[in-house]
């Protein structure tokens, strides 16, 4: 390909990407022909050709005597009846039942679901949103990736709004978007409820294992701390093990082994979820520590993992299908243009304790 053509394609692609990623937004002025010619070292004729194609594609429009501006991309007027559901994972833990709840409500209303997963990666979430913005969809239900960490792709959510595509967060929400529609567990109350149960049954040396990179982990930890403070038990940060998505299969077990090796006094462990609890229990038993006779262990979510190896976890109920149904109903309300108050836009599901045989 000739050098002139390479520069032309690069200019066209660069401008297209800047518009697609929100770096150039609706109404922004595109650099002048002279500026583009100088930047890409091509003739003004080549610049005009690239701009003409962008205009044909609907990305830009020219105003005589004023310049060239970024268009407000027009979406089809018809409804596609396609809803995108984006979760961190698809095939394990609680997600299949959440999706089932969403599907039951939306299918009854004639909608089809497009499933995506991010593997709890923020960059993958951004790629999913970019892809969805190019598709014909009516709405999005999304579980944010690493929701405790500041979102760097807010412009993609803003573009959903510009295109008139409503979205609902489930399981968590970025701090910068706390006013957006969402359906969440009251995880602070859940962490408080399960820690208070341990305190009420005589436990005082309570360790905690929490996830650091999502808001659920932060809120469950906050409830744990509140319960300790209310009971007059000193919070000990050395008894708290933090882990991230990438080390979730290793770090919780290593942390428990480290506490045991140091001789830290423990009579119970509050775990971020059932999955972590079912890692902690064999770690303890491998050291000759009996559950619950020596150390009680609790989970969270009341998932299929809450039962196994003769154990039935003391845990918090996660109404997985119900959460999915509520998110779908909220999205339908937004699609129908209903006026919703703050409590209708932010739904908090109250936790419920289930007592099993891993505590005493």
Is residue 89 in a domain? yes
Lowest average pLDDT, out of 8-22, 42-56, 131-145, 162-176, goes to: 8-22
First to last CA, the chain: 74
Asked whether the beta carbons of 65 and 92 are under 8 A apart, the reply is: no
Domain that holds residue 98: 82-185+321-345
Burial degree of 277 (CB within 10 A; 0-12, 13-18, 19+): buried
Tokens of 82: 């396609």
In whole angstroms, what is the distance from residue 359 CA to residue 308 CA? Answer: 15
**Sign of the dihedral through C-alpha 109, 114, 120, 126:** negative
> Is residue 213 domain-shared with residue 270, that is, in the same domain?
yes
Residue 347: left (phi > 0), alpha (psi -120 to 50), or beta? Answer: beta
Give 168-188 pLDDT, tens digit per residue: 999 999 999 999 999 999 999
Q: 3-state DSSP call for residue 149?
A: coil
Banded pLDDT at 229 (limits 50, 70, 90): very high
Q: pTM here?
A: 0.78
| Run of H or E residues at 253 | helix 251-261
Q: Looking at the predicted structure, is the pLDDT value of residue 75 above 60?
A: no
Is residue 103 in a domain? yes
> Is residue 176 domain-shared with residue 193, that is, in the same domain?
no
Is residue 351 in a domain? no
In whole angstroms, what is the distance from residue 292 CA to residue 40 CA? Answer: 70
Closest by CA position to 256, among listed 295, 218, 227: 295
Number of folded domains in the chain?
3
Lowest average pLDDT, out of 3-7, 184-188, 212-216, 217-221, goes to: 3-7
At 10, which CATH number?
1.10.10.10
Residues listed for the chain? 360
Give 256-313 pLDDT, tens digit per residue: 999 999 999 999 999 999 999 999 999 999 999 999 999 999 999 999 899 988 999 9
Is residue 357 in a domain? no
At 171, which CATH number?
3.40.50.2300
Burial degree of 24 (CB within 10 A; 0-12, 13-18, 19+): buried
Banded pLDDT at 316 (limits 50, 70, 90): very high
12, 44, 70 - which closes a domain: 70
């Amino acid at each position: 390909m000739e050098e002139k053509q390479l520069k032309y394609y690069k200019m066209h692609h660069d401008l297209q990407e800047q518009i697609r990623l929100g770096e150039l937004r609706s109404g922004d002025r595109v650099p002048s022909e002279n500026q583009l010619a100088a930047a890409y070292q091509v003739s003004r004729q080549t610049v005009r050709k690239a701009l003409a194609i962008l205009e044909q594609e609907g990305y830009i429009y020219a105003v005589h005597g004023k310049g060239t501006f970024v268009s407000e991309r027009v979406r089809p007027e018809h409804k596609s009846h396609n809803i995108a559901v984006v979760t961190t994972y698809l095939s394990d833990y609680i997600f299949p039942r959440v999706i089932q709840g969403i599907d039951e409500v939306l299918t009854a209303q004639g909608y089809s679901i497009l499933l995506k997963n991010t593997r709890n990666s923020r960059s993958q979430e951004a790629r999913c949103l970019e892809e969805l913005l190019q598709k014909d969809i009516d709405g999005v239900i999304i579980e944010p990736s690493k929701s405790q960490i500041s979102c760097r792709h807010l412009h993609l959510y803003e573009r959903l709004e510009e295109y008139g595509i409503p979205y609902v967060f489930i399981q968590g929400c970025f701090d910068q978007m706390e006013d957006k529609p969402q359906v969440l567990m009251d995880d602070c109350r859940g962490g408080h409820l399960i820690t208070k149960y341990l305190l009420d049954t005589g436990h005082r040396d309570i360790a905690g294992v929490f996830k650091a990179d999502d808001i659920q982990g932060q809120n469950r930890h906050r409830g744990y701390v509140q319960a300790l403070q209310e009971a007059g038990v000193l919070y000990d940060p050395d008894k708290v093990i933090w882990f991230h998505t990438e080390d979730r299969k290793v770090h919780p077990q290593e942390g428990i082994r480290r506490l045991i090796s140091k001789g830290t006094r423990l009579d119970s462990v509050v775990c971020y979820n059932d999955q972590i609890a079912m890692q902690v229990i064999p770690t303890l038993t491998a050291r000759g520590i009996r559950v619950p006779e020596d150390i009680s262990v609790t989970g969270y979510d009341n998932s299929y993992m809450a039962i196994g190896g003769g154990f039935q976890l003391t845990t918090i109920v996660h109404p997985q299908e119900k959460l999915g149904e509520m998110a779908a109903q909220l999205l339908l309300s937004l699609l129908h243009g209903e006026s919703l108050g703050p409590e209708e836009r932010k739904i908090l599901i109250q936790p419920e304790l289930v007592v099993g045989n891993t505590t005493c």
